[in-house]
Amino acid sequence: MRPRPHANLPSPSGMAIATQLPKVQWGKGIYVHDASGKTYIDASGGPAVFCLGHGHEEVNEAIKRQLDRIAYGYRYTFTSDALEELRSLVAEACGPGLESMLFCCGGSEAVESALKIALQYHAARGEMTRRRFIARRRSWHGNTLGALSVSDFLVRRAPFEGALIEASFVSAVRAYRPPPGVAVDNLAEFCARELESEILRIGPQRVAAFIFEPVVGAAGGVVPAPPTYAARVREVCDRYGVLMIADEVMCGAGRCGTWRALEHDGVVPDLMAVAKGLGAGYLPLGATIYHGRVAEVIDRHDGGPLTGHTFTGHTAACAAGVAVQRIVKRDGLVARVRRDGPALLARITRALEGVEAVGDIRGRGFFVGIELVADRDSKAPFPPALQIATRIGQAAAANGLLCYPSSGNIDGVNGDTVILAPPYITTDAELDEIAGRFGDAVRQALGAVKRG
């Protein structure tokens, strides 16, 4: 039976909500129009994807030109100008060392390939005991079984428990909600030592890699790691021969004001996954990028990475990525996000002044998370049944603003956050309008709950 177009559908948090989805018709810039004629400001870029907005003529023309020549050359038969230029652009953006990469169709595939390349690296070194991954609580790495196995997103995992690979989890790293008894100033050191303890508990000879999001997206509601955390984790991983995987699917490709999110922390990973902003949603595109020291071992032993799919390195998708990354570079959009990010955070803060339910406003670049609480002093969350984040998302959409609500950020059940991730091309006037409309939506949703 085909699913009904209007039904109980899962929200971004995985919870079923009764809704009737509008039918999208067209988009231009940061605006999206549905079939009824209603216009929305896309203030979350979908799920932080549409970094250039919609209907960018240069990107569309680049895709058309590629399609006029050939849509796709199978990766075991051909390379292509589009693939090679995209590799060059990404390598330049990443900086020295991160020059080997595999292009795929999205973030879950990119993470899955990162996990497999990490395992292949250790196998090539003769260390077949290194099979275990360590990740963090309240993390989200993707929907393939491997990526889901290293994710701690309770609602999204639940139906698949028993079929997931074994992984270890250490504490979430969040200044607003540190582990009990841990001062914020000591958070980075505490969490780095916890990782080291877990490696030693398992046995370093059994650990393949540690995977984390430099800025946690959907699972945490935009949670940047505190200063020194990433550098300390790098030290711990190096000490025990554990690979560091940076999942930058949501926070990377310029979203946080540096092309690599970890660049902000002065750290280079062994492997990283990017997607979303890489191709800006024009065609499905992601990439697994890995350091030369990993590539050298794999290439010498196996001739290359033993991962990938039919559409890996899809030519038209790479052509879209080339066009997007050329524009991002030419127009200085990453620098603009870095420059205007603090002003966006300030705008949202002003728009939410006086709203007692706003517990925390955090973020980096054009990536902002707002956490809602029932009591600001105790940080107690709202009862999950109220679905506060979902209500805010619905109120915003009713007022022509698209945001990204997500629930369960505290423990998988409790907690309400909303993410704003506008396109990099958003003007100052549009940022003002986003903040204003969002403030209105929060007040409307909370007012409706209060009235019962």
pLDDT at 6: 38
- Over residues 186-198, the pLDDT tens digits come to 999 999 999 999 9
Strand 39-42 versus strand 358-363 pairing type: unpaired
- Over residues 85-126, the pLDDT tens digits come to 999 999 999 999 999 999 999 999 999 999 999 999 999 999
CB-CB contact of 214 with 230 (8 Å): yes
Q: Is residue 15's pLDDT more than 60?
A: no
- Rounded to a whole number, what is the distance in angstroms from the first to the last CA of the chain? 37
> Exposed/middle/buried for 434, CB within 10 Å: 0-12, 13-18, 19+?
buried
pTM over 0.75? The answer is yes
Going from N- to C-terminal start, the domains of the chain cover 8-56+332-451, 59-330
Q: Is residue 240's pLDDT more than 50?
A: yes
- Over residues 355-413, the pLDDT tens digits come to 999 999 999 999 999 999 999 999 999 999 999 999 999 999 999 999 999 999 999 99
Q: Is residue 281's pLDDT more than 60?
A: yes
- Over residues 217-227, the pLDDT tens digits come to 999 999 999 99
pLDDT at 98: 98
pLDDT at 20: 83
pLDDT at 1: 34
CB-CB contact of 399 with 441 (8 Å): yes
pLDDT at 452: 74
What is the mean pLDDT of the segment spanning 249-275? 98
- The percentage of residues in the chain with a pLDDT greater than 70, rounded to a whole number, is 96
What's the mean pLDDT when you consider all of the chain? 95
pLDDT at 95: 96
- Over residues 125-182, the pLDDT tens digits come to 999 999 999 999 999 999 999 999 999 998 999 999 999 999 999 999 999 999 999 9
Using N-to-C axis directions, what is the helix angle for 315-330 and 81-94, rounded to 10°?
40
Q: What is the Cα–Cα distance from 276 to 48, expressed in whole angstroms?
A: 7
Sign of CA dihedral 196, 202, 207, 213: negative
**At 12, is the pLDDT very low, low, confident or very high (cuts 50, 70, 90)?**
low
Please choose, from the candidates 361, 363, 444, 372, the residue with its C-alpha nearest in 3D space to the C-alpha of residue 406.
372
pLDDT at 440: 98
Range 59-330: architecture per CATH: 3-Layer(aba) Sandwich (3.40)
pLDDT at 14: 54
What is the mean pLDDT of the segment spanning 62-86? 96
pLDDT at 450: 86
- Over residues 43-54, the pLDDT tens digits come to 999 999 999 999
- Over residues 317-350, the pLDDT tens digits come to 999 999 999 999 999 999 999 999 999 999 999 9
The topology (CATH level 3) of 8-56+332-451 is Aspartate Aminotransferase, domain 1 (3.90.1150)
Q: For residue 239, what are its two tokens?
A: 């000490």
